[in-house]
Structure 1
């Protein structure tokens, strides 16, 4: 029977992803991690349709919250001309926005854990739509900065909450694909928004760029209200007292089928009516719809995943517990609310997670990728609108199609290949052991391509090469960001899954503080150094920052081992408080 207490000697992040035991029929099969319960309403057990509807809602929110943050990049010269706010001040305002996109996580992430993710998503979407009405009316630098700070604060949920929603829905061996989808949406929105904004600005004026963002946000709010489901879930694992095995939807389906077929003989009455038989069959079908995991081996290492383990008598339990939420229950704004008020503990937990080097490095990696993204955005209008290119706003916006295309291309490398690599390395070891560092080898691609793209963009602009070379370099540099998004998020979630929400707040806060620093000084950086020297330094800083993954591959396992007691003590304490 699985152990019911935390093993303090377990190294966080290490898992047996592939089964190499002696069980017949399970040799070499992927082990589900986290272990799913036997409840159809467990997000890990949702049917494909229900699960991908939830993913679509997260992506819609990400798209419509991100677009207003990036739409102005191609129309900065227009804003400068109409408002008399300098380009340097405009870039400083976006820097403050990115700063509060991080700081806001300290407020909204605990709120999502205490009251549910669904109400936080809905509030963030509606508030973002309303804030977008303000910038067109700003006439001074102070008003501009205030509007950007407020926009960043209410939109901060898009920075850290979608990663956690994806981890709620997917297993370890599927996680990189899901997080890469989020990264693709984030980058795609960031690049497509300036493209569309350029045309809007030319046809209707730059003010309508923000007003259309407000309209888009309002439409998205209505969509999310009727389709987004809560993914907060208090997982309970049940063990069969007779066999000592974990109950899954698959095992419940088989036992329920047996109970239904023999119920008349057991209770000594005539066969049930056709109507009752159909009801019983509906119970089986309800379980079959969500039971998609029987091709995987069983994960018996559950004590460190959840504290709520119950031993049950299956003959009395299986037939009684089978219903799923109705549509209206799924729309409830209270479905993810904790019974105990623990907001103060949720607010403090991210600061305690900052003690773990793995979390700090993931924040640095994510932040460094956004630095190059901000350098690109901060100089795109400057380079392409100047001599010899003289691009109008519409053409500058069109140039942003390039990083959009590269994001789609590189998505398959960062997502599908990363998940494949994770399983392949576990099988290669011959023991099925998987380490969170296994995915980091994908950053080798970023090291090479990011360095090349930075030189092509900046040095190419200095020597006034053909515009196609600049647009190609711009696309490659922008698209490479998906590697850091997926690598940093999966590394943290794979390592500290039990406290991943708190850890991601630290990652995003570091990332956005770095982004703020660069956005605040990007104009002076380029002006003082010139395109050539500035982007040569960017290229090698990018190379060096990404190459630090080699340090983590060497030191990461040792760091996780040294801090395992600290981590499991936090997990145990928070579980006793009722937080997880």
Structure 2
């Protein structure tokens, strides 16, 4: 029978993802988090309902992200028609990224208190309105003010979609969902300058922002009629006789070979007598590394949810759930909390900053955005200069390269990451999964990112053929999806119960790093030159990504040493009614 109180000795992030059976170590995926018996539980949604929700999150990401990147290919045009220098224009985008992070401290708590749906709608509508202003700016002060407001109202795009994806996907498929978000984020960032270049040549740079306003307005209409609230208080019912979690029949049929019997999972690792000595050693090693005497206890249901009801299947009459009607799904108040806890939600991210795992994930995410900003900040400068002399439309076309590479890298970062997590759990011989298992995928980023930075910057210094530059540009831009996916899944896998608060810290760190680089990118390139600048970028990229090797060993130590601190926070916030 699963315990109904939090196990404070459980290591956050460690889970038994695979229930192994037989000598061939073939097993069944364990659903984490455990779904309830309510059809309105986002984990129980039908494929059509779930993918509609995913599509709405991606539409929001696309519409809000495009205005933040559309101006990159037309910066020379803006400089010519205004009194704003290229350095000031880049500094303005730096302020925008800074407030994209700061805004999370405001809108993320609001999303938890009042629901994600109203925050999404306000964000996309406000972005539409703000996009009308920049074409009328004539001074550096106006430009910076418009960028600050755009960053503030659009800040939800930085952290809220990751949480929505974690609401909709189980642990073994979470990387795929987050990679979809990362892919959309990168495609919007790269395709926006592509389209903007043609708009600028045909209609003037002012229409770049006005079309962004129209796009966001259309997106607002789509989200209003199709986006559904994913805030949900999950309550699990467990059979007192068998320890089996009661789920809806449609979910059991849909998932097929899914394990929901808690006793079966908990007894699994004890039956190893028939396994070879090599596999028994793997089991012993994994248990030793977990930091607990018996890591099977890490799957306690009470650590996942606060509401667990023990029922007698012989006398229990399941509640007659009625799915929400279409108009109920459009409600703007269905996700709000009954108690006013906004001040607690606002304070929680600062408390999550105590965890090194969260800090490192923010550093990893931030470092990837640094290279992204260096690329965007120099693309127009390099390609419009000698000997290439690209027009605005040609610079825009160049952004097709990172778009194509982003799609290619999506399959490595998303699908392969989920596959790797499951395979490592099986390889251990116990089905034990650790959040660090996904980080091995960063080897690809380390090698390709370093090579791409050298090809782009050093190639520009030696004036190589434009194809070499475009290839390097695409490779460097496309690799960014690795850091987006790895950092987000690492945090969500580790601190799923407080993932919303943790992601605010990650985004704050990321955007502060982005702001610093955007503010100084022009001087960095000017003072060092393309060659030295991008050699330093290449090896900084390599060093930043290779820190995952440190986290492979330090991560489990940090998670184990801070387990009591974390579960005490979870227990406190659950008693307050926050989660």
- Following TM superposition, by how much is the alpha carbon of 1:159 offset from its aligned partner in structure 2, in angstroms? 0.2
Question: 1:100, 1:153 within 8 Å by CA — same for their partners in 2?
Answer: yes
Question: 1:458, 1:532 within 8 Å by CA — same for their partners in 2?
Answer: yes
Instruction: State the aligned residue count.
Output: 542
Question: 1:71, 1:190 within 8 Å by CA — same for their partners in 2?
Answer: yes
State the secondary structure of the residue aligned to 2:309: strand
Counterpart-to-counterpart distance in 2, 1:532 and 1:25? 53
Match of 1:179 in 2: 178
CA deviation string 1:350-402 (max 9, x = no partner): 00000000000000000000000000000000000000000010000000000
Counterpart-to-counterpart distance in 2, 1:99 and 1:343? 23
Counterpart-to-counterpart distance in 2, 1:46 and 1:567? 30
- Following TM superposition, by how much is the alpha carbon of 1:303 offset from its aligned partner in structure 2, in angstroms? 1.4
- Following TM superposition, by how much is the alpha carbon of 1:92 offset from its aligned partner in structure 2, in angstroms? 0.2
- Following TM superposition, by how much is the alpha carbon of 1:185 offset from its aligned partner in structure 2, in angstroms? 0.1
Match of 1:204 in 2: 203
Check 1:118–1:290 CA distance in 2 against 1; reply closer, same or farther (3 A cut). farther
Output aligned runs, 1:199-238, within 5 Å: 199-238=198-237
Check 1:322–1:555 CA distance in 2 against 1; reply closer, same or farther (3 A cut). same
Match of 1:373 in 2: 372
- Pair 1:105 & 2:104 matched: yes
Match of 1:247 in 2: 246
Counterpart-to-counterpart distance in 2, 1:487 and 1:549? 10
Match of 2:255 in 1: 293
Check 1:329–1:25 CA distance in 2 against 1; reply closer, same or farther (3 A cut). farther
Output aligned runs, 1:266-277, within 5 Å: none
- Following TM superposition, by how much is the alpha carbon of 1:298 offset from its aligned partner in structure 2, in angstroms? 1.9
Question: 2:74, 2:392 within 8 Å by CA — same for their partners in 1?
Answer: yes
Counterpart-to-counterpart distance in 1, 2:529 and 2:37? 61
- Pair 1:387 & 2:386 matched: yes
Output aligned runs, 1:302-313, within 5 Å: 302-313=301-312
Match of 1:509 in 2: 508
Output aligned runs, 1:146-157, within 5 Å: 146-157=145-156
Check 1:387–1:360 CA distance in 2 against 1; reply closer, same or farther (3 A cut). same
Counterpart-to-counterpart distance in 1, 2:240 and 2:396? 64
Match of 2:5 in 1: 5
Question: 1:47, 1:290 within 8 Å by CA — same for their partners in 2?
Answer: no
Counterpart-to-counterpart distance in 1, 2:9 and 2:78? 58
Question: 1:353, 1:503 within 8 Å by CA — same for their partners in 2?
Answer: yes
- Following TM superposition, by how much is the alpha carbon of 1:243 offset from its aligned partner in structure 2, in angstroms? 3.4
Question: 2:93, 2:147 within 8 Å by CA — same for their partners in 1?
Answer: yes
Unaligned runs of 5+ in 1: 251-287
Check 1:141–1:19 CA distance in 2 against 1; reply closer, same or farther (3 A cut). same
Match of 1:272 in 2: none
Counterpart-to-counterpart distance in 2, 1:68 and 1:316? 58
Question: 1:45, 1:291 within 8 Å by CA — same for their partners in 2?
Answer: no
Output aligned runs, 1:152-551, within 5 Å: 152-250=151-249, 288=250, 292-298=254-260, 300=262, 301-314=300-313, 317-318=316-317, 320-551=319-550
Question: 2:9, 2:564 within 8 Å by CA — same for their partners in 1?
Answer: yes
Larger mean Cα displacement after TM superposition, 317-326 or 375-384: 317-326
Check 1:516–1:165 CA distance in 2 against 1; reply closer, same or farther (3 A cut). same
Question: 2:244, 2:261 within 8 Å by CA — same for their partners in 1?
Answer: no
Counterpart-to-counterpart distance in 2, 1:294 and 1:338? 34
Superposed structure 1 runs of 4+ greater than 4 Å apart: 24-27, 313-319
State the secondary structure of the residue aligned to 1:292: helix
Question: 1:37, 1:249 within 8 Å by CA — same for their partners in 2?
Answer: yes
- Following TM superposition, by how much is the alpha carbon of 1:294 offset from its aligned partner in structure 2, in angstroms? 3.7
Match of 2:562 in 1: 563
Question: 1:33, 1:299 within 8 Å by CA — same for their partners in 2?
Answer: no
Question: 1:35, 1:299 within 8 Å by CA — same for their partners in 2?
Answer: no
CA deviation string 1:436-482 (max 9, x = no partner): 00000000000000000000000000000000000000000000000
State the secondary structure of the residue aligned to 2:349: helix
Question: 2:25, 2:426 within 8 Å by CA — same for their partners in 1?
Answer: no
Counterpart-to-counterpart distance in 1, 2:500 and 2:335? 14
Counterpart-to-counterpart distance in 2, 1:229 and 1:505? 22
Counterpart-to-counterpart distance in 1, 2:573 and 2:192? 41
Question: What is the CA RMSD across the aligned residues, in angstroms?
Answer: 1.5
- Pair 1:552 & 2:514 matched: no
Question: 1:14, 1:435 within 8 Å by CA — same for their partners in 2?
Answer: yes
- Following TM superposition, by how much is the alpha carbon of 1:297 offset from its aligned partner in structure 2, in angstroms? 1.2
State the secondary structure of the residue aligned to 2:346: helix
Check 1:36–1:184 CA distance in 2 against 1; reply closer, same or farther (3 A cut). same
State the secondary structure of the residue aligned to 2:27: coil
Check 1:215–1:171 CA distance in 2 against 1; reply closer, same or farther (3 A cut). same
Match of 2:18 in 1: 18
Check 1:289–1:419 CA distance in 2 against 1; reply closer, same or farther (3 A cut). closer
